[in-house]
């Protein structure tokens, strides 16, 4: 466990990030121009695909615009045939010709839309693949500090949610904004061709549409923001109770927890009602204004039909159809703007990760040769702090001879784990020097340095895969015999043999199909197989029972022979045989010696020991 102050916020889900619904507030980017330019660099690799998408989108839109006009000629042909203006043969020929034209056009439209889908999917998926690859490469190069200061959920959200928002918007917005723009212009042209008088009447309703939509959207945005805030509180409460379900049950807090949930849920429902009511008003109001406009067009159209050079029924029908289609593209453009804002905001978060400061560039592993080490470790006047405000380690001096077992004890926050974090260069020191066999660790590439360390963490880590793959994680070329021997030393071989698949047993996510103690034994087997010169055991036996701890201690004592070992433990029974015990307080070594020497001093170590074994308060 990192011994520092973590000022992290609760990892609450903050609700939907996209402002897709009318009235739903889109998350606005802070640097629209800069982020858009960087986003275009990803898209620019597919410029020919995009050109093809633009051409196909225009063709699809053109078919949509022309369609009602063809229907117009069919209806006019039927009307003229019925009224006797043309013969039956001429009328049927007109109807059949335009009917075939409509079917052909819509068949072509179907083919084009399939092509659009395939090309659009290819472009968006490849852009998402590149973004996730860039993120993964970046995260690999970031220091441990970056992960310590952030919630895992926030990092995962960039990988999943933000990348998905960006690639979906790239695909949908590009097609929709071209299509909607072309549709607005094309429909307006067709309406003027049919009747400029009716077009002017129809356009009277447009300002009313804009005014009504803008007014309601402005009011509903406040409600949606309040809804998102309450949703974040609700998600945070659910996550907190899910992860701490055992604690809730232990203290019989289920009723209190349910009541708190109900209160939050009621507040959420209240905000949702207001938001949904206001956003729901938009469509009825639009339909009301539209219907008035349709009525005016029909009345005026009927009047014009009785004049010389009259409008035919097909003309009025086509015009009304165009009128009904005219508003939708305009509303789509408004929604697309919201969608693009959310996408660029998501891209900003992606680029924020990509722009994070990496660990200092080092020489390649192949360009550096660290000779076989003996394991001599020395701290010389080392200063370190996690933040400028709090100094943790000050002027630390420590010399460890090769092959010695060093135990580190102290109260929480004393700097025990920090000591080994500095040794492995998970963090770099502020001043002073740490050396291995006389060579400064800052002069050794991290990838080379860590090859000489084996570590068993307090929090066991096993990945989805077989037991064999997990044990051999640090030594991929290990033979089956070496893996089995390591597991025997860790006293886990017998357990593995009882499993139906043995060493090929597949561990589930978080290895929840085996016990915590068995997980600990497997991580110890992994360290044994790795066979490093320096061992670090961080609370290595804190999660196992007394019998298993005894097995592990015997195996560890044998394994530590000839190796420099650092053991961090609160259970002092595990470190009695250490060559040297370091007692730390506030980043400094306040006591040093073996178990018996420190007990005789009656200092901090004696107090810790008595508190555990004699039930005396510290």
Summarised one tens digit per residue, pLDDT across range 573-616 is 778 888 889 888 877 788 888 889 999 988 888 888 888 776 54
What is the count of structural domains for the chain?
A: 2
- What angle (nearest 5°) sits at the alpha carbon of residue 78, between those of residues 75 and 84? 140
How confident is the model over 52-81, as pLDDT tens digits? Answer: 888 998 998 888 888 888 888 888 888 888
Q: Of 288, 321, 354, which closes a domain?
A: 354
- Dihedral sign, Cα of residue 224, residue 329, residue 215, residue 336: positive
Domain assignment present for residue 299? The answer is: no
Domain assignment present for residue 456? The answer is: yes
CA 338, CA 23: separation in Å to the nearest integer?
Answer: 10
Q: Strand pairing partners for 405?
A: 565
Is residue 17's pLDDT more than 60?
no
How confident is the model over 358-375, as pLDDT tens digits? Answer: 766 555 544 455 567 888
Domain assignment present for residue 606? The answer is: yes
How confident is the model over 325-361, as pLDDT tens digits? Answer: 887 787 777 677 767 777 787 888 888 888 887 766 5
Mean of the per-residue pLDDT values of the chain: 79
CA 575, CA 589: separation in Å to the nearest integer?
Answer: 17
CATH label of the domain that carries residue 185: 1.20.1560.10
Q: Are residues 49 and 185 in the same domain?
A: yes
pLDDT reported for residue 14: 40
Domain assignment present for residue 391? The answer is: no
* Kind of pairing between the strands at 393-400 and 564-568: unpaired
- In sequence order, which residues have a C-beta less than 8 Å from that of residue 327 and are 6 or more positions away? 206, 209, 286, 290
3-state helix, strand, coil in the chain (%, to 5): 65, 10, 25
What is the span of the domain harbouring residue 549? Answer: 405-411+452-613
Q: Are residues 470 and 599 in the same domain?
A: yes
**What is each CA distance from 618 to 572, 594, 614, in whole angstroms?**
14, 20, 11
Q: 19: closest CA among 225, 284, 161?
A: 225
Residue 448's Cβ-side half-sphere holds a number of Cα atoms within 13 Å equal to 20
Domain assignment present for residue 284? The answer is: no
Is residue 388's pLDDT more than 80?
no
Per DSSP, the three-state class of 203 is helix
Domain assignment present for residue 396? The answer is: no
- Contact assessment for residue 481 and residue 501, using Cβ atoms and an 8 Å cutoff: no
Domain assignment present for residue 463? The answer is: yes
Please, is 130 exposed, middle or buried when counting C-beta atoms within 10 Å of its C-beta (0-12, 13-18, 19+)? middle
Domain assignment present for residue 305? The answer is: no
Q: Are residues 342 and 460 in the same domain?
A: no
Please, is 314 exposed, middle or buried when counting C-beta atoms within 10 Å of its C-beta (0-12, 13-18, 19+)? buried
Q: Are residues 456 and 593 in the same domain?
A: yes
**What is each CA distance from 574 to 409, 458, 537, 541, 601, in whole angstroms?**
11, 14, 11, 8, 20
CA 489, CA 468: separation in Å to the nearest integer?
Answer: 15
pLDDT reported for residue 246: 66
- Contact assessment for residue 56 and residue 109, using Cβ atoms and an 8 Å cutoff: no
Per DSSP, the three-state class of 463 is coil
In 401-436, the DSSP E strands lie at 405-410, 431-436
CATH label of the domain that carries residue 563: 3.40.50.300
How confident is the model over 141-171, as pLDDT tens digits? Answer: 887 777 777 777 677 778 778 888 888 877 7
Q: Are residues 343 and 467 in the same domain?
A: no
């Amino acid at each position: 466990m990192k011994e520092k102050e973590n000022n992290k916020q609760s990892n609450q889900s903050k609700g939907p990030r996209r402002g897709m619904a009318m009235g739903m507030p889109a998350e606005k980017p802070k640097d629209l121009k800069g982020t858009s330019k960087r986003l275009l660099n990803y898209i620019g690799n597919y410029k020919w695909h995009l050109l093809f998408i633009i051409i196909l989108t225009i063709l699809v839109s053109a078919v949509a615009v022309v369609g009602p006009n063809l229907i117009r000629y069919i209806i006019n042909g039927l009307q003229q045939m019925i009224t006797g203006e043309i013969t039956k043969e001429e009328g049927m020929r007109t109807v059949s010709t335009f009917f075939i034209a409509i079917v052909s056009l819509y068949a072509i439209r179907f083919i084009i839309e399939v092509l659009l889908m395939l090309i659009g999917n290819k472009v968006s998926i490849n852009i998402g693949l590149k973004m996730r690859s860039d993120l993964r490469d970046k995260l690999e190069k970031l220091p441990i500090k970056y992960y310590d200061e952030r919630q895992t959920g926030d990092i995962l959200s960039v990988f999943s949610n933000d990348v998905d928002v960006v690639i979906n918007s790239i695909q949908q917005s590009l097609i929709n904004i071209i299509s909607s723009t072309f549709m607005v212009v094309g429909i307006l042209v067709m309406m003027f061709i049919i009747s400029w008088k009716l077009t002017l009447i129809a356009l009277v309703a447009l300002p009313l549409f804009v005014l009504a939509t803008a007014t309601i959207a402005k009011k509903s945005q406040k409600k949606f923001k309040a809804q998102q805030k309450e949703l974040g509180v609700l998600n945070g409460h659910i996550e907190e109770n899910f992860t701490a379900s055992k604690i809730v049950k232990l203290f019989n807090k289920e009723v209190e927890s349910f009541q708190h949930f109900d209160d939050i849920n009621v507040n959420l429902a209240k905000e949702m009602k207001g938001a949904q009511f206001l956003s729901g008003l938009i469509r009825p109001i639009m339909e009301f204004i539209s219907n008035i406009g349709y009525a005016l067009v029909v009345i005026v159209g009927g009047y014009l039909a009785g004049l010389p050079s009259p409008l035919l029924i097909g003309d009025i029908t086509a015009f009304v159809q165009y009128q009904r289609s005219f508003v939708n593209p305009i509303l789509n453009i408004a929604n697309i703007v919201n969608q693009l804002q959310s996408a660029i905001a998501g891209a900003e978060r992606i680029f924020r990760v990509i722009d994070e400061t990496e660990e200092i560039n080092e020489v390649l592993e192949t360009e550096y040769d660290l000779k076989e080490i003996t394991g001599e470790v020395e701290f010389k006047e080392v200063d370190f702090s996690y933040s400028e405000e709090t100094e943790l380690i000050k002027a630390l001096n420590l010399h460890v001879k090769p092959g010695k077992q060093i135990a580190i004890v102290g109260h929480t926050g004393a700097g025990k784990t920090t000591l080994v974090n500095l040794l492995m260069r998970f963090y770099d020191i502020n001043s002073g020097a740490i050396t291995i066999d006389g060579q400064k660790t800052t002069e050794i590439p991290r990838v080379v340095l860590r090859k000489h360390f084996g570590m068993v963490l307090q929090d066991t880590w096993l990945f989805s895969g077989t037991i064999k793959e997990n044990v051999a994680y640090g030594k991929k070329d290990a033979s089956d015999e070496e893996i089995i021997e390591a597991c025997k030393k860790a006293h886990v071989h017998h357990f593995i043999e009882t499993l139906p698949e043995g060493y090929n047993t597949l561990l589930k996510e978080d290895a929840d199909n085996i016990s915590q103690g068995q997980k600990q034994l497997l991580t110890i087997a992994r360290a044994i197989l790795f066979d490093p010169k320096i061992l670090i055991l961080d609370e290595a036996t804190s999660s196992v029972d007394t019998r298993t701890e005894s097995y592990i201690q015997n195996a560890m004592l044998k394994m530590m022979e000839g190796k420099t070992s650092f053991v961090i433990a609160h259970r002092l029974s595990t470190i009695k045989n250490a060559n040297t015990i370091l007692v730390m307080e506030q980043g400094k070594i306040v006591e040093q010696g073996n178990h018996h020497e420190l007990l005789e001093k009656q200092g901090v170590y004696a107090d810790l020991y008595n508190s555990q074994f004699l039930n005396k308060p510290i």
